[in-house]
Structure 1
C-alpha cells in the first residue's frame, strides 16, 4: 500500500488543502514536511493515520475529535487516495483488477450536523456511507488484523520502556490501529523491540532448530545495526532479559542508552516487528512495501546522525514510502535526489503548502536561508546585529568619531564570524548587499 494524495477540508488550520504524495502511477518514496510550529504538519500526519487505520481504528485512535474543526457549523473531511501493492492480498474487480482506491472520513464537532442523512450531536469520526469501495476496503484491506496493506505511524515522543521485562504477553498480532498509537498517545512506550528480541532469544535457547526465530532475530539485529552510527551495534541478551549494545567499545544496556539511541531503537524495532506480522510469509520483511509516518524524526539526534538517518532508513527499508516532518535541514538534504519536500507556512492567516525543489544539493546555510526555512541569517541575533552595523558603517564615506569607534568594536565579531574581514569584493559582502536590498525593497 502507498498513498497518492491526501485532502483536508475544514480541519484545524486548513480550509481546504490537498498534498500530492505520489503520482497516479508511482509513490514518492520520501516526503518531507517543513515548517514552523503550528502550521499543520502533525495534523496531516495524524489525518493520514486515521485514514490508514480504517473506520474502526480511527475511532479508537481519536475517540472524541474535539478541536479538529476550523468552522464548527460544517463537517470536516479527510480524504485519501491509496494504491494496492503486489503483496497486498485480495482483488477488487472482476474483469480488471483495481489498484487505486479513494475514500473519505467526516469529522464533526459540538454543533448539530447532518452527514448523509444521519444526525450527529457530538464530536465523532464518521465514514462516508455513500462510498461503495469503503465497505470492500474495511473487509479486505483495512482490517483490525490482516496481512499486507501495511501502514504505521510514529509520534515525536516515541521511546522504549524504562523497565526490564523478560516476557510480556503482548506479542500477539497487533490490531491495525496500534500501528499509529504513538501519534495520539504521548505516554505510549514502544515495547515491541525489547519484548520481541528477548522472546526470540528465549525460543532459540530452547530449540536450536527454531529456524524461524533465528531468521526473525537476524532481521531485527540487521535493521537495528544498519541505523546506528559507526562504532555502535547490537551485542547480546543476558539471562535476566537485558539487551546490551556495544557503544564505542563499551557494553551498554538499553535502559542506559541515550535518548537518541532509544528513539531510533524504538522506531526501527517496532517497525520490523510489525512488518513481519503483516507479511508472515515474506523471505525478507525489510524489503516489503507500505507507508510509514514519522513526526519530528530529528528529535534527540546529534547533527551527524541527522545528516545520515534518512539515507539509512531508505537503505534499510528500501520499498517503504516514508512521510515525515522535521525541523532539521540536515535530514531534509540527506533524503536524496528523488525526495519531495513541502514547506508549510502562514500567509494572511491561512496555511499555505509549497513544494521546494532541488534541496538535496544545498548546504545547510543555503537551506536555512532559502524559502524552505525562510531565515535571513544563520548567525545569532546578536552577531547578526553587529555584522549589519559593520556593513552599514563601511558603506558610509565619512564617519564621525562615534561611528568610527562603533565600527572598530564590531570588527572583532565580524572577523570571528567570517574567519577573516570581508572586503567589498568578497562573496559575503555581496550577499549582505543583496539581502539588504531585498529587505529594504
Structure 2
C-alpha cells in the first residue's frame, strides 16, 4: 500500500493544495520530507493523512467501521467546511478484481467536515475505502496468514519509555492488534514491553534463555562442545518476530544488540551496548527514543505479516512528525538511508527542522511550506548543512549580530581602512574563540594587506 497523493481543502493553513508523495518518477525513494517554520502546516499534513487512513483501518476491522472525523477546529478560519482526498495505490486490491474489465490498483476516497450550522460544501465518499478494506477482509477469510499493510503515525508527543514491572491489563496480540493505537498514541511502549515479554516467554520455552546461556558460558567457556551445541539450539528456537525487532534496532544502532527481558533478581528490559549489559532506562533520551520508534515499527510489521520469513520486508505507510527529535546530528545524517535499508517496502512521510535529514539521502522528495503554500525543492543531496540552513530554511548559519560585525570587519579590510579593521578585529577577538575560522581568515587578509602596503 502506498499513498500517491493527498489533496487538502481548507485544512489547517491550506486553501486547496495537492501533494504528490514519493516515490515519483523524479524521486524514486519512498521518503517524502516536509520542512518549514513552526506553524506552516507540516503537522497538519501528517494529521490529515492519519485521519484519512484511520477509515481504512476501521473498515478493515468491521465493514461499517468509523475512523476519525476531521476536527472542526482544523477547518481553515474563513471556510465553512473542509475535505481530505487521498489516492492510494494497492496491489492486493488490483489482484482482487483482476477478472473485471478494467484492472486498477488505485483507490480514491474523501473525508469531509462542515461547521455546525453551515451548509455542506464537501461530501464524504468512502466507497473505495470500503472496497479496499473488503478485499483485505476477503483475503483474510480465505487465508488467515495474509499480510496486512502497516499504517502508523508517530506524533511529536511520542516520547517514550514507561516500562511496567507489573502488567495489570493483559492484551491480545493477534494480527489485527498490530493496528492498536497506531494512529493515536505513537510509541506505546507499555504494549511493546508486554508483547516482547510474552513472545520471549514462548521463545524460552522452546529454547534456552539468554540468562541461562550466559551462566553456561561463564561455567564452560565459549570453546566447549557443550556451549556450542546449546548456542545452536538457542539459535534454532529464536522467535521470528522478536528477531525482526532486534535486527531493526541493530541496523539503526550498531552498538546496540540483544534486546531482552531480565527476570531475576528483578524484572527489567536489558540491552547490550558496546558489549556491556544495561537497563534500557539507563540509555540516553535520544537512544531510548530511537530504539522505541524503530522497535515499534518492527513489532507492528511482525504482527501484521505473520507468514513473511522477514517481517521487515512488509509494506505500509509510516508518518513521523519531527523525525529528528532528540537525535544526535550524526544520527540525523543517516536517518533516511537507514529507514529505507531497514524497512525497504514502507513509505515514509516525515517532517523535520534538521538540514542534515534532507541533505544526506538521495532521491528523497522535499517540500517547503510557507504561508499555506507548498513548493517542491530541488535535491539537497550533498549540500552542506550551512547551505541548506541559508537557502532552504532561511536561517543564518551563525548569530546575526556576530555575522553583521564580521561583515563590517571584512568590508573595512576590503576598503583599506586598517584602523577600523584593527578595532573591529580586537573587539571580536575578545568575544570569540581563538580558533574561530572567520577571525583567522580576517587576520590573514589584514596581514596580507599590511605586507602589501609595506612593500610599496
- Count of aligned pairs between the two proteins: 401
Structural mapping, 1:279-290, within 5 Å: 279-290=305-316
CA distance in structure 2 between the aligned counterparts of 1:166 and 1:343, rounded to whole angstroms: 45
Q: Which residue number in structure 1 is paired with residue 390 of structure 2?
A: 369
Give the structure with the higher percent helix: 2
- The worse-fitting range, judged by mean Cα deviation, of 308-317 and 84-93 is 84-93
Cα 1:246–1:135 shift into 2, 3 Å? closer
CA distance in structure 2 between the aligned counterparts of 1:164 and 1:248, rounded to whole angstroms: 26
Superposed displacement of residue 105, structure 1: 0.5
- Structure 1, residues 98-137: CA drift from partner, whole Å, max 9, x if none? 2011111102233433267xxxxxxxxx732xx6423313
- Structure 1, residues 255-296: CA drift from partner, whole Å, max 9, x if none? 232211221122122211211222221121101211111111
The answer as to whether partners of 1:72 and 1:109 remain within 8 angstroms in 2 is no
Paired residue secondary structure (2:441):
coil
Q: Which residue number in structure 1 is paired with residue 362 of structure 2?
A: 337
Paired residue secondary structure (1:32):
strand
Q: Which residue number in structure 2 is paired with residue 410 of structure 1?
A: 428
Paired residue secondary structure (2:306):
coil
Structural mapping, 1:56-205, within 5 Å: 57=58, 62=68, 65-71=71-77, 73-85=79-91, 90-91=96-97, 94-114=100-120, 127-128=124-125, 132-141=127-136, 147-165=147-165, 167=167, 169-172=170-173, 173-174=176-177, 176=179, 178-182=181-185, 189-205=188-204
The answer as to whether partners of 1:159 and 1:190 remain within 8 angstroms in 2 is no
The answer as to whether partners of 1:80 and 1:102 remain within 8 angstroms in 2 is yes
Paired residue secondary structure (1:70):
coil
The answer as to whether partners of 1:154 and 1:180 remain within 8 angstroms in 2 is yes
The answer as to whether partners of 1:164 and 1:241 remain within 8 angstroms in 2 is no
Please point out which of 246, 249, 267 is paired with 1:224.
249
The answer as to whether partners of 1:307 and 1:331 remain within 8 angstroms in 2 is yes
Q: Which runs of 5+ in 1 are unaligned?
A: 117-125, 427-441
Cα 1:367–1:223 shift into 2, 3 Å? same
Cα 1:41–1:18 shift into 2, 3 Å? same
CA distance in structure 2 between the aligned counterparts of 1:23 and 1:224, rounded to whole angstroms: 25
CA distance in structure 2 between the aligned counterparts of 1:378 and 1:293, rounded to whole angstroms: 29
The answer as to whether partners of 1:53 and 1:142 remain within 8 angstroms in 2 is no
- The worse-fitting range, judged by mean Cα deviation, of 172-181 and 311-320 is 172-181
Paired residue secondary structure (2:87):
strand
Q: TM-score, normalised by structure 2?
A: 0.77
The answer as to whether partners of 1:235 and 1:246 remain within 8 angstroms in 2 is yes
Q: Which residue number in structure 2 is paired with residue 21 of structure 1?
A: 21
CA distance in structure 2 between the aligned counterparts of 1:252 and 1:23, rounded to whole angstroms: 39
- Structure 1, residues 130-174: CA drift from partner, whole Å, max 9, x if none? x6423313433599x995233211111223442334655224332
Q: Which residue number in structure 1 is paired with residue 9 of structure 2?
A: 9
The answer as to whether partners of 1:32 and 1:332 remain within 8 angstroms in 2 is yes
Structure showing greater relative contact order (alpha-carbon pairs closer than 8 Å, 6 or more residues apart): 2
The answer as to whether partners of 2:206 and 2:237 remain within 8 angstroms in 1 is no
The answer as to whether partners of 2:409 and 2:442 remain within 8 angstroms in 1 is no
Q: Which runs of 5+ in 2 are unaligned?
A: 60-64, 141-145, 208-232, 446-456
- Structure 1, residues 217-265: CA drift from partner, whole Å, max 9, x if none? 211111111111x422235321144211122443221223221122112
Larger Cα-atom Rg: 2
How large is the Cα RMSD of the aligned pairs? 3.4
